[in-house]
Structure 1
Amino acid sequence: MYLSEFPPEFQQALPILQQIEANGYEAYFVGGSVRDFLLGKAIADVDIATSAFPAEIKAIFPVTIDTGIKHGTVTVLVDHVGYELTTFRTESGYQDFRRPDQVTFVRSLAQDLQRRDFTINALAVRHDGLVIDHFAGLADLRAKQIRAVGAAEARFHEDALRMMRAVRFSSQLGFTIVPETYQSLIDNRALLDKIAVERIHTEFIKMMLSPNWQVGWASFLQTGLVAHVPFFKDQALTMPTFAQRATSALQDEAAVWTMLADVAALSDQQLTVMLRQWKTANQVIAASRASLAFSRKLQAGQAISAADLYQLDDQVLPRLATVGANLGWTVDFADLEQRYQALPIHDAHELAVDGGLLMARLGLTPGPQLGRALKSAEQAVVSGAVINEPETLIVWLRKRLPDMI
């Protein structure tokens, strides 16, 4: 088939393909950008595969960067925009089940596409719009299927992370993993133990932040991949499939961990241990812990004060709203959000007085009394006991200074 028109991203990069072909080589748009365009989705990155070897690419274009030249990737800069060009290649000797021990540059597009993970990612588009499909990827796109290129076992032994990519794509696209590829996930799941946690983490979070995350999550559980990832493999946790309820998209990574911690009834300490094992960023750990703690108050039916809301950042309530929608909480998040937005201040930086002003107006010196005065003013403003205005706060504090000694 031919594309009737190119997306703007392809149109902008088209001169690169034409210039390569003018020099006697082949060049194609490949991979995820082709897949996403055919699915009507936004294109993230434009990848180009070519029969030209790296040295030949560098001879054609005046400005290049050796991005990953050992594996055949050169970045070409055109009008200050970078495009990654990768030479057709074959790979062999995957001793670590992740990276090839040997890369061989070839001139054949068919050989290059054969090494790719799934048929829907093994499509190529020529400069004139011809879609090249050696592995029935177009049919799988139409059927909404995830299928390995060739033998699934061989693809997973080459790169075990592809098993996580399978469940991630099923989440992102809402596709079904075909039976033979699905069975290979089950048969080869232990290979996931060979993969660095950071790589698994990336795919897992992409899966869980996808519109159809429950699809990937169900496969993640049912194939047994869950038993070969950090924390989960050492815990006897009962995790729901969410198949019996409607689900909605989660806001961010902290929402993912908060939801899983809640359904697994994890303590704050267990949540922290889990996130450390997953090599999670410190800010995500802090956000997840704060969100879980506040969610426990909500589910316990505790009255939520202005002081409770003040302890939150502006992401906690929207985050928990997405979690609660998936777990069936009966919490009025709209009311909580309205109350949060109505707080006089949302952090100490918004307080109308600071240490310098209090020292100048009240004669305070640096030390505990100054700290207590600022904290008292902050709490009083949040509770509505005094308005957040400098002169009003000075008068209010002057009356209370004796009690702060």
Structure 2
Amino acid sequence: MTAQFATESSREVIRLLEKAGYEAVFVGGAVRDYVLGKPATDIDIATSAQPEEVKAVFPKTVDIGTEHGTVLVLMNGEPFEVTTYRTEGTYSDHRRPDEVQFVTSLRQDLLRRDFTMNALAMTKEGELIDLFGGQQDMSRQIIRAVGHAADRFQEDALRMFRAVRFTSVLGFDIEDETFEAIRDHAQQIQYISVERLKAEMDKLFKGENPVKAFQFIQQSELASHLPLFPPKMDVLNQTSPFETAIEGWACLMVAGDFTPADVAKAYRLSNAEKSYLTSVHQAFAKRSIALYTLDDYYAFELGVLLLVEKLVHAKGRLNQELSKVEITSAKQSLPIQSVADLAVTGKDLLTWTGLRGGKWTGEWIGKITMAVLHGICENNPNNIKEWFLHEFNCER
């Protein structure tokens, strides 16, 4: 029997390391996901060989973190991270070990990992190595720290938030001692970079059970030390699960009555993410006081319109509930969905008038868009030309 999640190339990496006299096993999330019956990704390999020894075994390698024991091995065009067994020293910044020490013991290497379910290893033949009860914890759907939970969180405070994220992604509960350690060390989350927190939040939002994660965030007091988090969970609970991470961010914004700028600054969102939040913020303001207008259906993406309907309902501001079918039908029945759907362009206006281009062309394309949208003229070149020339000449 072989490790069924592994590719032939990854098994070849281990085979060659073993042939050279070293131990090598699969470790980390791929093993965990395989045991859980989930698709395994990001196949990582741990070995007793030190970085220079790994590089001597393979003709194609890339140094991506040799000071921490990691070498990228290229096998048949596939990249694999191969990391030397190691122990770690103190974490003065609560993020990175001040020093690492390479060891030859797999047990010592697994002992430094965060949770028992992530401290599993597997041989290329498929033999599971479980030194800390990870398989039992997974069968009980429990997230348990390896060794003393307080030590693991003092080493890297992000592990506390990883535990919470796994409650959303896997639907597991946090074991009592591990949870108490999170609550005792919650304030240390402030030492973690916003970028790392944002990456974890993205995964949390995309999980199947974010409500469970939100509850743990509150109960553990992590919420008090995050860059920005709503004081009440009602809106997040009612609108989850989310289709995408950005929907989660939008719901967090509305739940806390934050502005797009607040959230974007706190978690360093991209311009595209901030733009999406701005659309949700604007649509929410409109929908909170009235039904969507024709202009609203045109201005906002269907996903935004549907999400805002859920948000308005969750906030108790719904004046007349619209179904998904009604919103979708209204959006799809528009004569055009964007300016790109217009049967004419600015070049046509220049041809019809004989004028040079300028600010006026954009303004008139906007007027034509509204005329087509509201049924004043049909979306074909002849009708638009006739309407445009009449209106254009009337304004001159």
Normalized against structure 2, the TM-score is what?
0.93
- The answer to whether the aligner puts 1:377 opposite 2:374 as a matched pair is no
Q: Which ranges of structure 1 fall in alignment gaps of 5 or more residues? A: none
Q: Describe how 1:77-88 pairs up with structure 2 within 5 A.
A: 77-88=74-85
Q: Which residue of 1 aligns with 2:137?
A: 140
Gaps of 5+ in 2: none
Tell me the SS of whatever aligns to 2:356: coil
Question: Which of 219, 223, 227 is residue 224 of structure 2 equivalent to?
Answer: 227
Distance verdict in 2 for CA 1:42–1:327, change over 3 Å: farther
Going from structure 1 to structure 2, the CA distance change for 1:303 and 1:246 (only over 3 Å counts) comes to closer
Larger displacement relative to structure 2 (159-168 or 302-311): 302-311
Partner of residue 327 from structure 2, selected from 333, 336, 345: 336
Pair 1:199-2:196 in alignment: yes
- The structure 2 residue matched to 1:13, chosen from 6, 10, 13, is 10
Q: Is 2:241 the partner of 1:249?
A: yes
Which residue does 1:129 correspond to in 2? 126
2:3·2:122 contact (CA, 8 Å) conserved in 1? no
Q: Residue in 2 aligned with 1:276?
A: 265
- Tell me, what secondary structure is at the counterpart of 2:185? helix
Q: Aligned partners of 1:170, 1:88: CA distance in 2, in Å?
A: 28
Further displaced range: 211-220 or 309-318: 309-318
Tell me the TM-score normalised to structure 1 length: 0.91
Q: Conserved in 2, the CA contact under 8 Å of 1:255 and 1:323?
A: no
Q: Structure 1: which 4+ aligned runs deviate by more than 6 Å?
A: 324-329
Counterpart selection for 2:154 from 143, 157, 160 = 157
CA 1:148–1:129: 2 relative to 1, 3 Å? same
Structure 2 counterpart of 1:352: 343
Structure 1 pair 336–259 and aligned structure 2 pair: CA distance change class (3 A): same
**Are 1:309 and 2:297 counterparts?**
yes
Q: Residue deviations 1:36-59, cap 9 Å, x none?
A: 111111222101111111111111
The root-mean-square deviation of aligned C-alpha atoms, in Å, is: 2.1
1:166 aligned onto 2:163:
yes
Structure 1: which amino acid aligns with 2:242? L
CA shift at 1:241, angstroms? Answer: 5.7
Matches of 1:205 and 1:308, distance apart in 2: 28
Residue-by-residue CA offset, 1:116-171 (whole Å, 9 max, x unaligned): 00000000001221111111101101000000000000000100000100100111
- Say if 1:231 and 1:43 are closer, same or farther in 2 by CA, change over 3 A: same
Partners of 2:117 and 2:315 lie apart in 1 by 33
CA distance in 2, matches of 1:369, 1:271: 32
Q: Distance in 1 between matches of 2:35 and 2:163?
A: 19
CA distance in 2, matches of 1:73, 1:404: 70
Secondary structure in 1 aligned to 2:25? strand
The reply to whether residue 29 of structure 1 matches residue 26 of structure 2 is yes
Question: Do the aligned partners of residues 402 and 335 (structure 1) sit closer, same or farther apart at CA in structure 2, a change above 3 Å counting?
Answer: same
Q: Is the 8 A contact 1:373 1:404 kept in 2?
A: no
Identity of aligned residues (%): 36
| CA–CA distance in structure 2, aligned partners of residues 58 and 342 of structure 1 | 61
Tell me by how many angstroms 1:384 deviates: 2.2
Q: Which residue of 1 aligns with 2:89?
A: 92
Aligned to 2:256: 264
2:367 alignment partner AA: S
Matched residue of 1:9: which SS? coil
